[in-house]
């Protein structure tokens, strides 16, 4: 099974549709699910435990940690970035990723050669520092660091971890003026996930296959 968090819209929804169109067994989650999406709030341990119970021992061959938030859009350095926004950003973009992986480790271990894909962003690259969006940038940098360390610890179990910049995508988060559509991003990311292996674990790549500077 392929499991995608945050699959109710944007990139997550496009990934889910792409896998299903190809005939792959894929399931999505959402905080407020509709249709056949499973309920999941990645910031709530009880919600993660409920998802794990629902899945039982079902093998998860690919876990896509896509759920994310951008709470500090438009904040000003002089008087913005309230502590509550920092807590929200890190709870979803960092802690939520870790707790999701932790909760589903038995399912990943049940699948031979399982893979974990973490959707980060070029905004998390420490070599690119154009300023602003401090919470989002810091949380995506932390997600990148988290993925790199998970890759090290899970390599011995044959579980590969990749971290990805999905492109500047026309979603609620990316805005109408972004460069690519969710479907374009999804097609590229699906190819990247398929190429993820023990030889490439810990990679940070763009949606179209270019290594991204850390």
Determine the 3-state secondary structure of 7 from DSSP. Answer: coil
Contacts of 173 (CB under 8 A, 6+ apart): 10, 68, 70
Q: CA of 162: how far to CAs of 28, 131, 138, in Å? A: 19, 26, 19
- DSSP code of 169? B
* CA–CA dist 197, 154 (Å, integer): 12
Contacts of 3 (CB under 8 A, 6+ apart): 26, 27, 28, 29, 55, 60, 62, 63, 64, 104, 107
Respond yes or no: is residue 164 known to be catalytic. no
Choose the catalytic residue: 19, 70, 136, 164.
Answer: 136
Catalytic residues: 136
């Amino acid at each position: 099974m392929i499991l995608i968090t945050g699959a109710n819209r944007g990139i997550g929804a496009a990934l889910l549709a792409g896998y299903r169109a190809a005939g792959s067994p894929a399931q999505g989650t959402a905080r407020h699910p509709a249709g056949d999406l499973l309920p999941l709030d990645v910031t709530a341990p009880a919600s993660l435990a409920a998802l794990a119970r629902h899945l039982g021992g079902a093998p998860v061959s690919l876990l896509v940690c896509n759920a994310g938030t951008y709470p500090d859009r438009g904040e000003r350095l002089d008087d913005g970035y309230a502590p509550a926004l920092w807590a929200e950003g890190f709870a979803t973009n960092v802690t939520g990723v870790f707790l999701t992986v932790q909760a589903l480790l038995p399912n990943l271990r049940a699948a031979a050669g399982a893979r974990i894909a973490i959707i980060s962003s070029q905004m998390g690259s420490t070599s690119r520092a154009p300023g602003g969006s401090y919470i989002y940038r810091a949380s995506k940098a932390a997600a990148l660091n988290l993925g790199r360390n998970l890759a090290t610890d899970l390599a011995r179990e044959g579980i590969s971890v990749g971290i990805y910049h999905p492109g500047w995508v026309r979603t609620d988060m990316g805005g109408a003026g972004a460069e690519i559509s969710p479907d374009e991003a999804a097609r590229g990311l699906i190819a990247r996930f398929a190429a993820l292996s023990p030889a490439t674990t810990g990679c940070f790549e763009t949606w179209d296959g270019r290594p991204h500077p850390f």
